[in-house]
């Protein structure tokens, strides 16, 4: 009887543990499962609304190094496409060029539409578009085009700055 109880306990505990791990996959990939509302996060921001529409068009598109199309994007390829299609604005193609030519934005003054940069392996090599309410959209190497949180476990200590292109 005690042996049966022990096996039942192990089975129940294991299944609870496994379901918990499965539900954390979105957190580990940086994906935010909350619904985003541009009106809620950026009141009256036409810029954010247009960039949000570009995000909706490409959400889930896979990551592809050097990619600039719906077949695959790298981070700067997604940013340049979103800006071109959503705002009719041409941006520099690479993250290093964006860092060089954009206007520096202090961390407390970041607005929807600003480009946010992250230091990975000691270099500024990832970027996304800030959308307000602590969220940014980007092409992640692990998940493709997604939305993440600036203070998410992976991103918060890697944030290195922001640039504005008006």
**Residue of 47, 50, 126, 163 marked active site:** 126
pLDDT (average), residues 131-135: 95
**Residue of 138, 139, 155, 162 marked active site:** 138
**DSSP letter (8 states) at residue 93:** S
Does 126 participate in catalysis according to the annotation? yes
Q: Architecture of domain 32-164 in CATH?
A: Alpha-Beta Complex (3.90)
pLDDT confidence of residue 123: 82
Mean pLDDT of the chain: 80
The model's confidence at residue 5, banded by pLDDT at 50, 70 and 90, is very low
Q: How far apart are the first and last CA of the chain?
A: 73
3-state secondary structure of 137: strand
Strand extents, DSSP E, the chain:
68-69, 72-73, 103-105, 115-120, 123-132, 135-140, 144-149, 159-164
**Which helix (DSSP H) or strand (DSSP E) does residue 79 occupy?**
helix 75-87
* Contact criterion met (CB below 8 Å) for 155 and 148: yes
Does 138 participate in catalysis according to the annotation? yes
- Sorted by sequence, the CB contacts under 8 Å of residue 58 that are 6+ apart come out as 70, 73, 78, 81, 82, 145
Task: Label residues 85-124 b or e (16+ Cβ within 10 Å = b).
Answer: ebbeeebbebbeebbeebeebeeeebebbbbbbbeeeeeb
Percentage with pLDDT > 90 across the chain: 67
C-alpha distances in Å from residue 8, one per residue of 13, 14, 15, 48, 124: 8, 10, 11, 52, 51
**Residue of 32, 75, 79, 115 marked active site:** 75
* Contact criterion met (CB below 8 Å) for 112 and 41: yes
* Listed ranges 2-6, 42-46, 156-160; the one with the highest mean pLDDT: 156-160
pLDDT confidence of residue 154: 94
Delimit the domains of the chain by residue range: 1-30, 32-164
């Amino acid at each position: 009887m005690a042996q049966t109880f022990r096996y039942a306990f192990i089975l129940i505990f294991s299944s609870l543990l496994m379901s918990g791990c499965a539900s954390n996959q979105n957190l580990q990939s940086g994906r935010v499962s909350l619904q985003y509302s541009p009106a809620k996060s950026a009141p009256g921001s036409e810029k954010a609304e247009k960039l949000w529409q570009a995000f909706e068009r490409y959400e889930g598109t896979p990551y592809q190094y050097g990619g600039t199309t719906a077949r695959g994007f790298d981070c700067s390829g997604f940013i340049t496409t979103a800006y071109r299609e959503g705002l009719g604005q041409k941006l520099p193609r690479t993250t290093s060029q964006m860092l060089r030519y954009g206007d520096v934005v202090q961390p407390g003054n970041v607005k929807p539409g600003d480009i946010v940069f992250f230091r990975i392996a000691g270099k500024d090599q990832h970027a996304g578009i800030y959308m307000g309410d602590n969220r940014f959209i980007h092409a992640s190497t692990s998940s493709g085009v997604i939305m993440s949180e600036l203070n998410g476990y992976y991103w918060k200590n890697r944030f290195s700055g922001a640039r504005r292109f008006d």
